[in-house]
Amino acid sequence: MHSIIYQISNQPISKEEHIGVDHIEAGDMTSLDYAYESSEEERKENIRCLVEHILPKEMFSLNEDGETIVYQSGFAEWRKSYLDTIHTRMADINEENIMKWVGPAYQLQKAILNPLCTDALFVTDFSNGYGLAERSRELMTIIGNLEIGDKLYVGAVFGYHF
């Protein structure tokens, strides 16, 4: 299966700071067989997809440059909904299914590490061309500190196979 890796920061990312396709490590609960470059056109389309389909609806808008994402609002509402999801997943766990291979405990773990429920991975911690591709929790932690009008900057965008 294929998906996308996004390098994202709340600070501008220069071309020199873009991670390299061969310098991406897989984070917790990620499977990364290989990553591959995408064309500039695919990159722009993947950024648009991030705003319109992966991030919570109407929380962000795409800046005119097609690369910068502007926070609109909505994190508090999303966080409440996310907490409801966590409570529901916790309530599903009992003595009989706690050790089940892909049971409710595993579903809870996935919900905690990947609150956006997406196959996309996010590199929010990077330096010297290297980065760690993780599920969406770290990205949502960054978003939780944004104020209306703050921006997220997209660096490298790669496809990957898992």
User: Helix 104-113 crosses helix 75-91 at what angle (to 10 degrees)?
Assistant: 160
Query: In the predicted model, what is the mean pLDDT of residues 148-157?
Result: 98
Paired sense of beta strands 2-9 and 121-123, if any: parallel
What pLDDT is recorded for position 13? Answer: 97
Query: What are 80-110's pLDDT values in tens digits?
Result: 999 999 999 999 999 999 999 999 999 999 9
Query: In the predicted model, what is the mean pLDDT of residues 110-139?
Result: 97
Q: What is residue 133's three-state secondary structure?
A: strand
- For the chain, domain boundaries: 2-72+119-161
What pLDDT is recorded for position 7? Answer: 98
Please tell me the pTM assigned to this model: 0.94
What pLDDT is recorded for position 74? Answer: 98
What pLDDT is recorded for position 14? Answer: 95
CA distance readout (Å), 160 to 33, 45, 63, 131? 7, 16, 25, 14
Q: How many CA atoms lie within 13 A of 82 on its CB side?
A: 21
Q: Which residues contact 110 (CB under 8 A, 6 or more apart)?
A: 29, 117
Q: Which residue has the higher pLDDT, 34 or 28?
A: 34
Tell me how far apart the alpha carbons of residues 87 and 81 are, in angstroms, rounded to a whole number.
10
Beta bridge partners of 80: none
Q: What percentage of the chain reaches a pLDDT higher than 90?
A: 98
The burial of 5, by beta-carbon neighbours within 10 Å (0-12 exposed, 13-18 middle, 19 or more buried), is given as buried
What pLDDT is recorded for position 63? Answer: 97
What pLDDT is recorded for position 116? Answer: 98
